[in-house]
Amino acid sequence: MAMPEDTLRAGAVREDHVGVRERVATRVVFFIAGFAVSAWAPLIPFAKQRHALDDGQLGLLLLCLGVGSVLMMPLAGGLAARFGCRRMILVAGAVICLCMPALMLAPGVSVLALVLAVFGASLGVLDVVMNVQAVIVERAGGRAMMSGFHGMYSVGGIAGAGGVAAALALGVPPLLAISGTAGIAVLLLAGARRGLLVRGGEADHPAFVLPRGRVLLIGAVCFAMFLSEGAVLDWSAVFLTSVRNADPATAGFGYVAFAVTMTIGRLSGDRIVQALGAFRVVVCGALLAAAGFMLAILVPSALAGLAGFALVGAGAANVVPVMFSAAGRQRGMPTHLAVAAVTTMGYAGVLLGPAALGFIAQATSLAAALGLLVMLLVAVAAVARVATRD
């Protein structure tokens, strides 16, 4: 049976061409994205030592990855529409795999900065295009799948960082560790190839347009949620040590608690969305995340801080996947352009938000800076009805 005309326009695929193989391939690509970006994290200290960088220089260097991503994300939807999801995912994935060992082989800081920018740009393209494919596959399947796809990104992140860290702990040289990781990614990408969609959207639209209408609201929600995630990543350990006097050796468990509950929440999220509906998931999730930050801020205990950050992970887990599904359902913009806009706005929250929180914390306090996130999350709950409507 043929799909409705709007679904055909968005994905340029027939419903009988989107089945188990395409769903599995989409999960694999999300896993690869998380696997690749997180594998770089344990190697950052080695790059810092090799190139004799101070903290400021390292910060500027790492910004190259984010800048590369943000520059390419707005264009990636148009590329998917013109060349198809399969081609763009394979090209971006291949460049990512080539960049991974190059990060350890770069002879100087300028070359490393260039490799990081290309690495980030390719990750940005992959992030957008895999979400375009996910929207098409979910819509063709007629049921919630987006949380499960994003859950595989989290699983990939744990596997990438954990695998490289374990290899380094066993004495494996950094270059061999990252090369092995790249090799695994290549094999996974090759295995997923046949399930990637040949088409990726409408090719007769411009490559990029500014977000408008409900897409702008959806992007703002993603900005707030990614900002909250980035705040936990960058500031949870600092909060626990400087405000709650936790042992620095254990303060990192704040992010671990967040990551574990987020991963569990996303892997079970499709069933939750099916049972509760998108609106309730966004309202309850945003308010639960806000309650988590409030618990960490108001209760003077390191254990309460850990519990609070775990609640943030559980609450935030399924809000962003629901927003990507909403971007696929709206009619104000073509799907591929809407997904690119939402991804870019969300990633801007990760890239720019934690630094802004640092300036706010310096002017007031870290607790006050995190308190602003509570207000943002309450605002997300307030606009949930409009953001999730069909």
Question: Nearest 5 degrees, angle CA 50-CA 56-CA 62?
Answer: 65
In a domain, 207, yes or no: no
159 shares its domain with 229: no
Query: What's the domain range around 111?
Result: 5-195
Does 111 have pLDDT greater than 50?
A: yes
252 shares its domain with 320: yes
In a domain, 353, yes or no: yes
187 shares its domain with 265: no
225 shares its domain with 167: no
CB 74 within 8 A of CB 340: yes
The pLDDT value given to residue 355: 76
In a domain, 202, yes or no: no
Residues 335-369 pLDDT 10s = 888 999 999 999 888 877 777 888 888 889 999 99
173 shares its domain with 221: no
Mean pLDDT of 5-20: 50
147, 148, 151, 156: CA torsion to nearest 10: -150
Which pTM was predicted? 0.84
Indicate the number of domains in the chain.
2
In a domain, 200, yes or no: no
Does 9 have pLDDT greater than 50?
A: no
Residues 60-73 pLDDT 10s = 887 888 889 989 99
In a domain, 81, yes or no: yes
In a domain, 208, yes or no: no
Mean pLDDT of 124-144: 92
In a domain, 206, yes or no: no
CB 13 within 8 A of CB 140: yes
Give CA–CA dist 22/31, Å, rounded: 14
Does 10 have pLDDT greater than 60?
A: no
289 shares its domain with 356: yes
Residues 72-108 pLDDT 10s = 998 898 899 889 999 999 999 999 999 999 999 999 9
Who has greater pLDDT, 15 or 317?
A: 317
Per-residue burial over 113-151, b = 16 or more CB atoms within 10 Å of its CB, e = otherwise: bbbbbbbbbbbbbbbbbbbbbbbbbbbbeeebbbbbbbb
What's the whole-number average pLDDT of the chain?
88
Residues 240-277 pLDDT 10s = 988 999 887 778 788 888 989 999 999 999 999 999 99
187 shares its domain with 243: no
